[in-house]
Amino acid sequence: MPRTLIVKKKTNFETLAGTMIDARVREEQGAEALERLKAANPHLGRDIAEGTVIIVPDGPGLKLSVGDPLSKAPGDSLRTLLEQAVGDTVQRSRVRLAERSEERTALAKAVNSTNFKRAATAAQLSVEPFQAAAKALADEDRLDQEAEQRLGAMSGAAMAALARLEKLGG
């Protein structure tokens, strides 16, 4: 079963190939292994960016490890990538939702303050539209809290589904 490798720092194909080809094989086998590596990774160009996923095909000529061991299965890297992506998304969403909640709370507090009501009355403005806006903000806050709960449930479900897929794959 092919393994995967995630590039830890920017490199180029020649350097990567030099670390991947087993020095104990004949030149011909090394060239064949390099061709298998290229065929399995058509997305690779001369320069390889950090975070690039590389598929390491089975067969002679390629090292079993290059510094950091290669994943035992493609699912290992996939799981790691998904866990990071989902975790980052959930974290960013929670931070942004908390910021929005703070903004709404501050606005609602200002609209409902005695000073605001006095200023609105002095300017001959009706406070009802402002109070309706404050209520709408409170409704949005409730919807954001529900969205945060759904996001947490969805991320948990995605990780559980991935775990089931891993069990099926062995």
Give the model confidence (pLDDT) of 64-77 as tens digits: 555 434 434 445 55
Hey, where are the domains in the chain?
A: 3-69, 74-169
Give the model confidence (pLDDT) of 68-108 as tens digits: 344 344 455 567 777 778 888 888 888 888 898 899 889 88
Return the ∠ at Cα 133 (arms to 132 and 134), rounded to 5°: 90
Instruction: Return phi, psi of residue 152, to 5°.
Output: -60, -40
Cβ atoms < 10 Å from Cβ of 83: 14
Q: The whole model's pTM is what?
A: 0.47
Output 131 or 81, whichever has higher pLDDT: 131
**Orientation of helix 13-20 relative to helix 27-40, angle to 10°:** 120
